[in-house]
Structure formats: C-alpha cells, structure tokens
Amino acid sequence: MKLMSSPQSLDLDITNRCNLRCRYCSHFTSAGDVGQDLAKEEWLQFFEELNRCTVMNLCISGGEPFYRQDLPELMEGIVKNRMRFTILSNGTLITNEMAAFLASTHRCDGVQVSIDGSNPVTHDAFRGEGSFSRAMEGIEHLRRHRVSVPVRVTIHRENVHDLEGVARLLLEDLGLPSFCTNSASFMGLCRRNAEVQLSVSERSLAMESLLNLSKKYNGRISAMAGPLAEARNWLMMERARRERRESLPGGGYLTGCGGPMSKMAVRAEGVVVPCTQLNHMELGRINEDDLIEVWQNHPQLKRLRERGTIALCDFDFCTDCDYIPYCTGSCPALAYTILGKENHPSPDACLKRFLEEGGRLPDESLMNSSGNRH
Amino acid sequence: MGVAEKDKPIANPLIVLREEFDDWAILFDPDTGNAVGLNPVGVFIWKLLDGSHTAEDILKKLRESCRNVPEEVEDHLQDFIQSLVERGLAGYEAKKA
C-alpha cells in the first residue's frame, strides 16, 4: 500500500484537562496524560503547518475540549487554515452560545457526545453525578443549532442491562439518526478500575443485545470496536472456519489497524504520536520537527506500518488456533496496554480465548437481517 | 468561441490541492467537505490556474509537456475549466468597471 504524501487527518489532544474523571477514561494515567497544555499560539502556528501539508480534517479531543476557554479562537485557526473538524466531548460544558459558534464556522462535521445510559443512574455510575443531565443539555444545544451529534455509548458493567433503554432514548425519544458503541477497555483509568469492564458473560449478553437492537432499528447502531463490532467480526470468523474458507481479507497477519497509513496524533503538550491510544510512542514535537519528515521517514512509524507483515502463526499466543486465517490481531494499542508490546495480537480481541473462558457467540441468524450487513 | 478568447481562470484559493502519490491529487473544499479526484493532467492544469495564464497559454504548455496529446484537447480543457468553475473550485477575476 502506497503512503500518502502527508496525513489526511490528525487527532489532537487539545487539552489535558477535564471536568470529569470517568472511571474508564482512556486518557488519564496513560502516556497522554501529560499534565500541561500547549499555549493557543503554538496550536495556531501548528495549524499553519497543517495547511501547508494539506491536512483535511482534525479530530479534537482531550481531556475535555470545551474545558479550554480559548477553544473558539482555536476553531477559527482551523477554519483559517482550510480544514474541517470534529470534536469528542462529554457534552457537559457545551453551552447554547458555543453550539451557535460551532454552527457558524460551517466546518464542524460533528460533536461526538458520550451518553452511557438511558437515565442518570446508569450514565452517572462511572461518570459522576449530574453528568447525564448536563450532557443531554449539551446535545439539545447542538441540535438546536443543527450541529451533527454522533452519540457514543461506552458499554460497561453498569449499563449492559440498559442497552434497550439507551437505544430507545437515542433513536426514538431524541430521534437521532444513529449512534455508535464501544466498551470500556484496558486503557488509562480503566486499568486500575477493572471492575467496570464487562465480564465474559456480560460481553456475551452485550453482543446479543446489540445485534438484536441493530436488527430492530434497521442498522442504526454502529461500532468500530466493542461488543457489537466483535459480534459481527467473530460470527464472520466462525462461519469462515466452519466453511473451511482459506482466509478472510487481512487474515493471518497483524493487519487490524490501518491508522498509521492515513493519520497521526498530537498530545496536549505538543508531542507527535502515531495515535492517541499509542501515545507512549514519541515521534517528534510540533513546531520543532517537520511534520512531513516525521510522517514519511520516522523509523518507529515505518515499523508500525510494517506491522501487517507479521504473521500470527509466529506467536506462541496463537498456537493451535483455528481462527488464524481469519484473524487480524485487532488493536495494537490494546496489545500494548495489556502486554507492553504493540507488535502482538490483542489478547482482548482473541475469539479462541473468549470461547475458552465460557463466552458464547450470538445466534448467527441475527447477522442476516438487513441491519447487520457488513 | 476559441480558447484564445477566454479570460485567465484562477483557482479558488480556499480549495486545497492535496497531492497524494503517482502525481494524482484531490481537490478538497473545506466549506462543503467535498473532494474531487484529479489525474496528473488535471493537477498540471490546476497549477496553472493562477490568474496569469489564459486557456490558450495552458494549452500550449500542455502540448509542450505532455506526450500523445489528443486532437480534441482544446475542448477537453474548456470542459474541465468550465466544470471547475461550475463547482466553485475556480473562477475568473472580476474586471473593474
């Protein structure tokens, strides 16, 4: 695969600060938790370099982006430098004025707000009291000004029995076109609050519930990771194994992440990293190192891009696994946080291990509905 | 109307020319989020839409720089520039009254 001349998009931790301390936050206590923020002027200078590099999109996260009082000035810098942006937020600090400002830029592709329950009990369980009502107010402000709100639901032990209620709230009561899901995973604060993660039986339940809901709501629930993505992927792998297919696309190698071919990230203090989840891998510093040089020639980034040539059959971890030709090893960041090495299949995404620990896959017929096509 | 009678087209400065690899590129409009693919000849032409080249100038440079230029290149060039103008990706500098 050929490398683009520059990254198409960048993920920026625009701040290290946040008004909440969600117990499964992937940021705090990770290598991205740098304890300081870049000054506005440094970000604005960097945006000019991104313009010269013809970067098209920025994903602004943190911390909580709306914690920064100078966020509007940063947005203006993005607009001035010919880019579009999305924002990842807990929603609690979004005011009517801010929503109006975002709409006025005409460059905001959406503000992803986290809603983890159908009511304050399940949402606030790990996010803190009062966060549900404030996040819902934030969504109201955004929708009033017609800013797209792609809600994200992080599934954990306290809301796994509330998924039907969440879907009803978001898709029926609020009338959102869709929402996406993931799950609390072994990163950041979740590493020391392991009780928030789904057990094997809860993971099985979540997979079945989400496939049922996806069918009920005609595919309006999506996932790049977490139980719904796993259900779809694992059912496909199981079918391929049963039918003795030679392989699935990308199967048999560590091809689970294509991120380093199109994007990079920057931590809150200005250090360039491959991804906000692979934030221990320091590649350079903005406004000091040339971004194109880092993108095209940094040895660590090159090695990460060559990860897809590493065969799963070379790992002891994969010995005697029937799913090797269908498996891509999944997320390198999760492999790193669990094992301390990114060039390894993620144990968390291992179907063989899941089944050995008593996990069960949903009924395959749930995949055959119109809402669950790949 | 012949090429020589056209004014000097100019690229919309807001549009991002994102050169990828093998001389192919994307024109990205940050206001709409739309992206249009350009082949190497399209990129060559785009870079000459600087307000100082007429379509005839561009045609001449194309013939100098490219091999196997088709006979109908003049029509193709006019169509290409016209499509850019219609999409708001290029225009003509307004003359003072």
pLDDT in tens, B45-90: 999 999 999 999 999 999 999 888 888 999 999 999 999 999 999 9
Q: Pairing state of beta strands B90-92 and B9-11? A: antiparallel
Domain of residue B20, residue span: 9-89
Max Cα separation, chain B? Answer: 44
* Residues A200, A205: Cα–Cα separation, whole Å: 9
Query: What is the model's pLDDT at position B2?
Result: 46
Would you say residue B2 lies in a domain?
Answer: no
> Nearest residue on chain B to A58, judged by CA atoms?
B30
Is residue B4 scored above 60 in pLDDT? no
Q: In B, which residues are within 8 Å of A106 by CB distance?
A: 31
How much is the pLDDT for A321? 97
B76 lies in a domain?
A: yes
Name the residue type at position A160: V
Q: Which residue of A has its CA nearest to B13?
A: A82
Q: Please count the structural domains in chain B.
A: 1
Q: Is A5 on the interface with B (CB under 8 A)?
A: yes
Contact B27, B16 (CB under 8 A): yes
Asked whether residue B94 is domain-assigned, the answer is no
Query: Does B4 fall in a domain?
Result: no
Structure tokens belonging to residue A33: 């938790």
Using a CB-CB distance cutoff of 8 angstroms, which residues of chain A are in contact with residue B19? 5, 54
Question: Which chain B positions have a beta carbon within 8 Å of A107's beta carbon?
Answer: 30-31
Separation of alpha carbons B94 and A307, rounded Å: 53
Q: What is the predicted pLDDT for the residue at B50? A: 94
**Nearest residue on chain A to B12, judged by CA atoms?**
A82
Amino acid identity of A155?
A: I
From the CB of residue A32, how many other CB atoms can be counted at a distance below 10 Å? 28
**From start to end of chain A, where are the E strands?**
9-13, 57-61, 84-89, 108-113, 152-155, 179-183, 221-223, 263-266, 271-273, 284-285
pLDDT tens for chain A, 374 residues long, are 789 999 999 999 999 999 999 999 999 999 999 999 999 999 999 999 999 999 999 999 999 999 999 999 999 999 999 999 999 999 999 999 999 999 999 999 999 999 999 999 999 999 999 999 999 999 999 999 999 999 999 999 999 999 999 999 999 999 999 999 999 999 999 999 988 999 999 999 999 999 999 999 999 999 999 999 999 999 999 999 999 999 999 999 999 999 999 999 999 999 999 999 999 999 999 999 999 999 999 999 999 999 999 999 999 999 999 999 999 999 999 999 999 999 999 999 999 999 999 999 999 999 865 455 44
The pLDDT value given to residue B95: 67
Q: Which of A149, A134, A144 is nearest to A96 (CA)?
A: A144
For chains A and B, count residue pairs whose Cβ atoms are closer than 8 Å.
34
- Residue B93 is predicted with a pLDDT of 78
* Residue A4 touches chain B, beta carbons under 8 Å: yes
* B68 vs B14, residue with greater confidence: B14
**Domain assignment of residue B97, yes or no:** no
What pLDDT, on the 0 to 100 scale, is given for residue A374? 45
User: What ipTM describes this predicted complex?
Assistant: 0.88
Closest Cα in chain A to B33: A84
For residue A76, the chain B residues in CB contact (below 8 A) are none
CB atoms B31 and A106 under 8 Å:
yes
CATH number of the domain to which B21 belongs = 3.90.930.60
Q: Please tell me the distance from the alpha carbon of residue B45 to that of residue B55, in angstroms, as a whole number.
A: 9
Using CB atoms, pick whichever of A5, A56, A106 lies closest to residue B21: A5
Global pTM reads 0.94
Write down the pLDDT at residue B94. 73
Which token pair is A99?
């929503």
CB contact under 8 Å between A82 and B19, yes or no, is: no
The pairing of beta strand A108-113 with beta strand A84-89: parallel
Q: Which long-range contacts (CB under 8 A, 24 or more apart) does A363-366 make?
A: A363/A208, A364/A235, A364/A238, A364/A239, A366/A208, A366/A211, A366/A212, A366/A215, A366/A231
Using DSSP bridges, classify how beta strands B35-38 and B25-28 pair: parallel, antiparallel or unpaired. Answer: antiparallel
State the pairing for strand pair A263-266/A9-13: parallel
Write the CA distances from A104 to A64, A69, A110, A217, A285, integer angstroms: 21, 18, 13, 32, 32
What's the pLDDT score for residue A52? 97
Residue B72 falls inside a structural domain: yes
Q: Let me know if residue B67 belongs to a domain.
A: yes
User: Is residue A262 less than 8 Å (CB to CB) from chain B?
Assistant: no
Residues of chain B with Cβ-Cβ distance to A84 below 8 Å are: 30, 33
Q: How many CB atoms lie within 10 A of CB A227?
A: 27
Question: Each residue of A262-288: pLDDT tens digit?
Answer: 999 999 999 999 999 999 999 999 999
Q: In the prediction, which pLDDT does A282 show?
A: 98
B-chain CB neighbours of A3 within 8 Å are 21
Q: Which stretch of DSSP H or E encloses residue B95?
A: none
Quick check: is B71 in a domain? yes
